[in-house]
Amino acid sequence: MLALGTSAMELGPEVAAVFGVLIAVGVLSQFAHPELGGVVLPTFSEVFRPWDYHDRIREMTLQKIYGASEGAKVWNAEWNQRAIDIDLRVRSP
């Protein structure tokens, strides 16, 4: 990405600005969730623990599909099953 920025600067500030916008759109597009109403950015802690970001998106999606209370129940059931699966894998020989 640095080489792309350097090449853009050689072509002029207008081209560099266009490349900067394109890079910013590309970075933000990974957080776009139109089914949840737009862009959902990770919190500061989720930047360093991306699996927490994924879990939050999954929970929000379930709540959007099933409603807040039923979605929370489905999420808790999935979370408990995942914890059981991990526990069983650790204990297997």
Mean pLDDT of 3-7: 61
Assigned domain for 21 exists: yes
Assigned domain for 35 exists: no
The terminus-to-terminus CA distance of the chain in angstroms comes to 45
Give me the number of domains the chain comprises. 2
Contacting residues for 58 by C-beta, under 8 A, at least 6 apart: 75, 78
DSSP lists the bridge partners of residue 54 as none
pLDDT band at 1 (very low <50, low <70, confident <90, very high): low
**pTM of the predicted protein model:** 0.67
Shared domain for 23 and 51, answered yes or no, is no
pLDDT digits (tens, 9 = 90+) for 16-37: 788 889 888 888 888 888 888 8
Domain residues for the domain of 4 are: 1-30
Shared domain for 22 and 61, answered yes or no, is no
Shared domain for 10 and 49, answered yes or no, is no
Shared domain for 90 and 54, answered yes or no, is yes
